[in-house]
Amino acid sequence: MIPIKIDISQTADEFNLSKQEVDLLKRGLLNTLSNELLRQWGEQTKVLKKTREKYLNGLKIIRDGNRSGVELTGWLPNRVESGLSPFDMKAGFLRSSKAKQGKNGPYLTIPFRYAIPTAEATSSLFAGKLPQEVFSVAKKLPLGGRLVKTDIKGIVDNIPKTKAFLEDQEAISSKYEQYEGLTRGKEQHHGEYTTFRRVSLNSPEDSWIHSGIKARRLADKALNKMTPEIGTITDTVVQKFLKENM
């Protein structure tokens, strides 16, 4: 939590404020400053994409009597804030309550939902956008239909054979091969496209490595943005309080 502390002893002495008036002024100041910090912090989240909604939901104003502050809650928002080193997701997946037990140990089938190329795809529900070449083929599938290996081969074969393609054909082919098995949703108007990957004890060691999360340090940016304004905000609140109560 980022605590907000204020000292109004000089104002209290100058205007001979009672303890009750001091407490009332403090609460007003803390509420105003906390709300402003929350606003400034929220503004900084515009740099985020898929994680923005969850990050914003994790921002909370904490009030406790004459104390106040802004807190960032939740595992993912805090990892976005402070960063996370690369890690292996396999062990966590296999401990999931949704994992099933096979004859060779636990396994879990992971769905990856993709947005169409023209969608914003800012929600964490999406693994990303479909390449236009894949979508052009996938949208012609029957409801519930799946892309098969020959579909993927056809997509790759239709890519213009530029110098870049010829120099790195293996990497480009691999980019499209991940969409083999892509399934079109069974609802006519929902436009859902999903692939599935299975994780098990036999999965290659590096097959489920998360690349990590970059530390955004949005709290520091919000504080740096707000700090020059604290004096003006405080003066405005104090002047309004004195006008209404003195």
pLDDT in tens, 165-187: 777 888 888 888 889 999 998 87
d(CA 220, CA 141): 49
d(CA 148, CA 156): 13
pLDDT exceeds 80 at position 1: no
d(CA 1, CA 8): 22
- The verdict on 66 and 174 lying in the same domain is no
- Give Cα 80 distance to the centre of its chain: 7
The three-state secondary structure class of 219 is helix
End-to-end CA distance of the chain: 34
φ, ψ (nearest 5 deg) of residue 137: -85, -45
- The verdict on 48 and 147 lying in the same domain is no
Higher per-residue pLDDT: 164 or 33: 33
Buried b (16+ CB within 10 A) or exposed e, 125-153: ebbebbeebbbebbeebeeeebbeeebbe
Half-sphere exposure of 94 (CA within 13 A, CB side): 16
Taking the whole predicted model, whether its pTM rises above 0.85 is answered as no
pLDDT in tens, 207-242: 899 889 999 999 999 999 999 998 899 889 988 888
pLDDT for position 95: 92
Half-sphere exposure of 28 (CA within 13 A, CB side): 19
- The verdict on 132 and 171 lying in the same domain is yes
Buried b (16+ CB within 10 A) or exposed e, 89-124: ebeebbeeeebeeeeeeebbeeeeebbeeeeebeee
Q: How many domains does the chain have?
A: 2
Q: Give the pLDDT mean for 52-77.
A: 89
- The verdict on 64 and 154 lying in the same domain is no
Domain containing 189 equals 88-206
- The verdict on 138 and 80 lying in the same domain is no
- The verdict on 148 and 68 lying in the same domain is no
pLDDT in tens, 91-140: 999 999 999 999 889 999 999 999 888 887 666 677 888 999 999 999 99
- The verdict on 119 and 137 lying in the same domain is yes
pLDDT in tens, 235-246: 899 888 888 877
Beta bridge partners of 164: none
pLDDT for position 128: 85
- The verdict on 169 and 235 lying in the same domain is no
Mean per-residue pLDDT of the chain: 88
- The verdict on 187 and 172 lying in the same domain is yes
pLDDT for position 150: 92
Put residue 161 in one of left, alpha, beta given phi > 0 → left and psi -120 to 50 → alpha.
beta
d(CA 240, CA 151): 69
- The verdict on 133 and 71 lying in the same domain is no
Describe the crossing of helices 149-157 and 169-177 by its angle, rounded to 10 degrees: 140
> How deeply is 14 buried, as exposed, middle or buried, from its count of CB atoms within 10 A (0-12, 13-18, 19+)?
exposed
- Give Cα 238 distance to the centre of its chain: 38
pLDDT in tens, 77-105: 999 999 999 999 999 999 999 999 998 89
- The verdict on 100 and 176 lying in the same domain is yes
pLDDT exceeds 70 at position 190: no
- For residue 162, CA distances in Å to 136, 158, 168, 174 come to 21, 11, 10, 17
- The verdict on 26 and 134 lying in the same domain is no
